[in-house]
Structure 1
Amino acid sequence: MFPENKKQLKLIYFNMKKIVAYILLVFIIPIASKAQNVSPLYKDSIQLQWVNEKYDSMTLEEKVGQLFIVAAYSNRDASHENDILKLIEQENIGGLIFMQDQAVHQIDLTNKYQTASKIPLLIGMDAEWGLAMRLKDVERFPWNMTLGALKNDELVYEVGKQIGVQANRMGVQFNFSPSVDVNVNPNNPIIGNRSFGSNPDRVAAKGIAYMNGMKAQNVLSSAKHFPGHGNTDQDSHKTLPLVPDNKADLEKYHVAPFKKMIDAGVQSIMVAHLNIPALEPDPKIPSTLSKRIITDYLKGELQFKGIIITDALNMDGVAKMYPPGDVDYRAFVAGNDILLFSQNVKVGKQKIIDAINKGEISEERLEESVKKILMAKYITGLNDLKFLDSKNIFEDLNSDVNKALTTTIFEKSSTIVKNDNKVLPIKKLKQKIAFVPLEQTDYDQFLTHLQKYTNVELVNVKNPSEINLLKDYDAIIVGAFLSNESVYKPYKLSDNSKAIINVLPQDKKTIFSLFTSPYGLKDLDLAKFDAVTVHYQNTKEAQVAAAQTIFGAIGVDATLPVEINANLKEGKGIATKHIKRLGFSAPENVGLGKKNF
């Protein structure tokens, strides 16, 4: 029977809309909401159908294989590539972590390995400051310590988003970041610049922004290194570090960012290799292998329902204790879902299979982990796998958008921690100003841009005895330039540089700019300076931003992300306004990018 007029047609349409809305309200939405509350990996009912079908189609051996992610290299020989193919075809591994370092070859290998795999592989990378962390000829985003100084978390979101764009371009679904370790120990050898700061609220806010940026590109994030690697002076790559905090302090300072990220929907958490007496009383059981920490605490008390992944199982924090394969088995028993950087898949798999066949591990426990992994594969698009093209790869990875974003971050992260008598910004240009470089010789961009505002003369003071070279100047700008080659490079100034600082003339206005970790200020006598600025890294963008900060071409409002000492607390920062002087930035930041023409 058909409606006789438009009025009847509208009435039928209206009633149908009400029926559909009622079905959604009563049946579908509650189911979806319940699923979302259960897992941050949930997308929709179609996803669950795909997951169930894939899971039911696999043998026990194939299911266990999904737990393993092994290291693949793009700079090794055919023998290595054949070994990876064997693991894919014979052991049915679930994924790969690509290490260094050839972008084009990595794309070719990704296509090759994905073709060989029955279930699409979950491809991961350590890309904390972008894929440059592993790939040659790719420009880096600023380190977390630099991002930690920013007041604007939207910029951190944009970094996560652009790293997600890079990951998608390279066929990477899983970025093992961000690090949300709260770095409270200046002597920490492995976290340091990888941390957003020493305040758990700051760390959580930046970590969530970074995570949400990647999530916008359907790239998985993994908060690390649970339950916090920030309060130690040891490196878990070499030993099992002790974290001495009691449970109350551990939760207040170190677990807090992870808890906030869980509440915000983080999809994965990476567990560190640590000795944590507050949570695991047995000093012989690293956190990665502790059922108390992973199953009882992370899954139980903290109610985390996403993927739990080990830190690399080749690290000495666990590798010295248990042989390859055995450590994988113990990690799975403890509650981990993904066994990262496995050194012996075959042995580890067989140990898990044997335990399941003996009833020591339930099939439900295996199902829990494998279905999480399959859910992750679906939400990252592996249900509809597309092959990659390496054409223009470096242009895409080093986009103008990325360069403009990096420039903005170094401008906005410039931090003034001392400004006696409002020396900054320098307003009087007709005076004699000397520039004294300390440490590295890579200061060209800083000097060049200082000289764009007035006549600044380079004066090389090589030791304290040459301090008289500065006697005829009205003002002195000192810059300390340490290596930016690696996130782990030392931040301390040499004894010679400290000696030069200690004899600086006190009858002149003196400005100090630091181009390394803010911890570089820890043992300096800042009383020698009228003004002190911190720029976190020794990059050309940081140097240009520093010159503009000193002469007022940009205003700054950033704050220290970490506590340095009693006088330089976390959150310290002195705001200045720009004084309408000519500035220098990326073309995209002033409306002159390619898209504007």
Structure 2
Amino acid sequence: MNLADLAARLIMINIPGPELGPECVQHLSSHRWGGVLLFAHNLQDRPKLVKLMEQMEELCDPIVAIDQEGGLVDRVRFPDSVLTPGLMALGAAGDPELTREAHEIMGRQLHELGFHVDFAPCVDINTNPDNPIIGVRSFGEDPEEVSRQGQAACVGLRQGGVAATAKHFPGHGATALDSHLSLPTLPHSFDRLRSQELVPFQGCVEAGCEAVMTAHITFPDLDSRPGRPATLSQPILNGLLRQLLHFEGVIFTDSMEMKAIAEHYGAGESAVMAIEAGADMIICGRGYPEHKEAVQALVEAVKSGRIQRDRLEESLRRLELMRDSLPTGKRLHYNPHFSEQNEQMRKIVERTITLVRNEELLPLRTGKVLVLSPDLLPLTPLGEMRRSDGALQHMHLEGVDVQEAHYPAETRGPALEHILQQARSCDTVLFTVYARHRLPDATRELGERLLEANPRTVMVSLSSPYVMRDLPNVPAFICSYNYTPLSMQALGKVLSGHLQPTGQLSVSIPGLYQRGHSLSYPAAKA
């Protein structure tokens, strides 16, 4: 293998759409690229995806990866896809066997589409309630519990047929900044990291996790060089992950187009530094020129003696061992297991709904109920929005007279007065909200006015439990952690009293409730 192709085998690239145009075909043919990372914009429908997989295999036979974490971070959302409830929801269920089952379903669906690697699970411990990017992507705040859940997820994905990736090493859960947008720093001591952040990674390594993804975060106690994130740090990747945790699998970088890297280093230099630090595959999620720049930089680094060729070959061997360990199979144009998987997932999701406060407002038995929902909901953690289908499309409330209204991000003037008048005329208001960790000011103000207009207002979080901090006096609070169809169905059953709420908080809500808190009531007899 020539040196340029060897370098390219350590680069994972992105492509622009669901089909390969002439320029993309030429680019994929220019080197033996090691990997391709697909996003939602690449996944128009199953037949086109299968064709895309077949074409890429013919052109460069890459490892194909995806971010399919569950909950909000689900790139594959075909009509016959069975979506998992997300990690904090599974943490609320509190049963690693359910987590394993959910991830086996996830892994099997990905395997039957042709994927090799899932960049999941996220085993960051969400110890900062104001973390802007992890939040409900985490199993919770307890290191041992996150470790148990993370191990179960890794086992499930492997049983489903894809490699699991524990991320974001050595931990992104305590940050107050988003590394997509800036370079966070964690000042924690090594002893703190060893007793907290590293516990789930150690567990996943012991469970046979095939891969680990790095974090674009600086840890001065581990690497004192200013501005040196874990992704580019030899003491962290080689010293901590390889030598201390004895990890022998594949190390993926997080995407090098994130501003934590891109604003400080070029595509070529960052690729060389990551390989020097101990990474095996560089996720070069930029454009075609940057992909080629990364390859050329690695070639020049070898020619100049900065990196030895056998260092690249070492990483290639790890990548080949991982791929060879995965099962082969025919890519399917449809999901033949949909009914079975959907029923299995329904039972899992019904264990996740968490009732946090209830001053005799729930379950809803009779009367007139206003369901108030946001008019826009995000598609991804980075904020891409879509129009809300409405809570009642999947959340069926039996035995009550229901009307639904939507509220925009900024509710002012006549629109606000109309909503408040509707609230006054109802017996109960279900105020459904979405936010990563804190409510937007306008949503919080709307909630305060609703409580004045109708004290029988139930706050329903379709995401984070932390949002209760913004309406701490609400008389009832319930959390579904996400708004997949199965989660909304389970939420409706709990609200109407046909399903017993059994979820428990896997994180503390500062000033209000501790991890493990939950309330319940018996389900009505059928």
Q: Same fold (TM over 0.5)?
A: yes
Look up the equivalent residue of 1:216 and give its one-letter code: Q
- Give the count of matched residue pairs: 495
- Do residues 503 (structure 1) and 448 (structure 2) align? no
CA deviation vs aligned residue, 1:487-537 (integer Å, no higher than 9, x gap): 96975571443223442666xx765443332122112133x51x4322222
Q: Could you tell me which residue of structure 2 aligns to residue 217 of structure 1?
A: 160
Aligned partners of 1:160 and 1:517: how far apart in 2? 21
Matches within 5 A, 1:173-184: 173-184=116-127
- Which residue of structure 2 aligns with residue 124 of structure 1? 65
Q: Superposition pairs for residues 265-280 of structure 1, below 5 Å?
A: 265-280=208-223
Instruction: Find the counterpart in structure 2 of residue 553 from structure 1.
Output: 498
Instruction: Quote how far apart the aligned CAs of 1:175 are.
Output: 0.7
Aligned to 1:137: 78
Instruction: Tell me the amino acid that sits aligned with residue 94 of structure 1.
Output: G
Does residue 1:92 correspond to 2:40, yes or no?
no
Displacement of 1:249: 2.4
Question: Contact conserved, 2:64 with 2:115, CA < 8 A, in 1?
Answer: yes
1:249-297 residue CA offsets vs partner (Å, 9 max, x unmatched)? 2332222211111121111100011122221212221211111111111
| Pairing of 1:198-347 with structure 2 (within 5 A) | 198-341=141-284, 343=286, 344-347=290-293
Q: Deviations over 1:207-234 (max 9, x none)?
A: 2111111111231011111111112222
Partner letter of residue 137 of structure 1?
F
Structure 1 position 519 matched with structure 2 position 466? yes
The Cα of 1:564 is off from its aligned counterpart by 1.5
The residue correspondences of 1:144-543 to structure 2 (distance < 5 A) are 144-341=87-284, 343=286, 344-381=290-327, 388=331, 390=333, 393=334, 395-396=335-336, 399-420=338-359, 424-425=362-363, 433-440=367-374, 442-444=390-392, 449-450=396-397, 452-453=398-399, 455-456=400-401, 458=403, 476-482=427-433, 491-492=439-440, 494-503=443-452, 511-526=458-473, 528-529=474-475, 531-543=476-488
Structure 1 counterpart SS, 2:14: strand
SS at match of 1:93: coil
- Does the Cα contact within 8 Å between 2:284 and 2:291 map onto a contact in 1? no
Is the contact made by 2:252 and 2:280 (CA closer than 8 Å) also made in structure 1? yes
CA distance in 2, matches of 1:548, 1:224: 34
Quick one: which amino acid aligns to residue 411 of structure 1? E
Cα displacement (A) at 1:467:
6.9
Distance 1:523 1:356, change over 3 A: same
Query: Conserved in 2, the CA contact under 8 Å of 1:437 and 1:481?
Result: yes
Q: Give how far 1:92 is off.
A: 2.0
Alignment partners' CA distance in 2, 1:380 and 1:319: 33
CA deviation after TM superposition for structure 1 residue 471, in Å: 7.8
- How far apart are the structure 2 equivalents of 1:194 and 1:283? 29
Q: Matched residues, percent identical?
A: 26
What is the alpha-carbon distance in structure 2 between the residues aligned to residue 321 and residue 374 of structure 1?
Answer: 31
For 2:247 and 2:150, locate their aligned partners in 1 and report how far apart those are by CA, in whole Å.
17
Measured in 1, the distance between the counterparts of 2:322 and 2:72 equals 20
Distance 2:422 2:323 in 1: 64
Cα separation, 2, equivalents of 1:471 and 1:477: 9
Rounded to whole Å, the distance in 2 between the matches of 1:445 and 1:345 is 43
For the Cα contact (< 8 Å) 1:477–1:510, is it kept in 2? Answer: yes
Task: Indicate conservation of the 8 Å contact 1:178/1:207, yes or no.
Answer: yes
* RMSD, matched Cα: 3.2
| Cα distance in 1 between the residues matched to 2:391 and 2:424 | 23
- Secondary structure (helix, strand or coil) at the match of 2:69 reads coil
1:135, 1:513 → 2: CA distance? 26
Correspondence for 2:411: none
Q: Distance in 1 between matches of 2:284 and 2:59?
A: 20
Measured after TM superposition, the shift of residue 538 of structure 1 is 3.4
Structure 1 491/542 Cα, relative in aligned 2: closer, same or farther at 3 Å?
Answer: farther
Q: Which runs of 4+ in 1 moved over 4 A?
A: 422-426, 457-473, 487-493, 509-512
User: Tell me, which stretches of 5 or more residues in structure 2 are unaligned?
Assistant: 376-389, 408-414
The CA deviation at 1:320 is: 1.5
1:6 equivalent in structure 2:
none
Query: CA, structure 1 residues 169+491, in 2 after alignment: closer, same or farther (shift >3 Å)?
Result: farther
SS at structure 1 position matched to 2:276: helix
Q: Which protein is richer in helix relative to its size?
A: 1
1:154 CA displacement: 2.1
Specify the SS of the correspondent of 1:186: coil
CA spacing shift, 1:534–1:142, aligned 2, 3 Å: same
1:578 aligns with 2:519: no
- Tell me the amino acid that sits aligned with residue 477 of structure 1: T
Mean alpha-carbon deviation: is it higher for 331-340 or for 127-136? 127-136
Q: Which amino acid in 2 is paired with 1:96? A: V
CA–CA distance in 2 between the matches of 1:457 and 1:97? 44
Amino acid aligned to 1:534: C
Q: In structure 1, give the amino acid aligned to 2:354.
A: T
Query: Compared with structure 1, are the counterparts of its residues 80 and 158 closer, same or farther at alpha carbon in structure 2 (3 Å cutoff)?
Result: farther
**What's the CA shift for 1:549?**
2.1
CA contact (8 A) 1:149 1:561 kept: yes
1:188 positional shift: 2.2
Q: CA deviation at 1:437?
A: 3.0
CA contact (8 A) 1:125 1:175 kept: yes
- Give, in angstroms, the shift of residue 551 of structure 1: 4.3
Q: Could you give the per-residue CA deviations for residues 171-217 of structure 1, whole angstroms, max 9, x where no partner exists? A: 11111111111122233222222222222223222221111111112
Q: Is the 8 A contact 2:507 2:516 kept in 1?
A: yes
Q: Distance in 1 between matches of 2:281 and 2:425?
A: 65
Distance 1:547 1:522 in 2: 24
Cα contact 1:200–1:256 (8 A) shared by 2: yes
Look up the match of 1:30: none
**Which residue, out of 491, 508, 511, partners 1:566?**
511
What is aligned with 1:36?
none
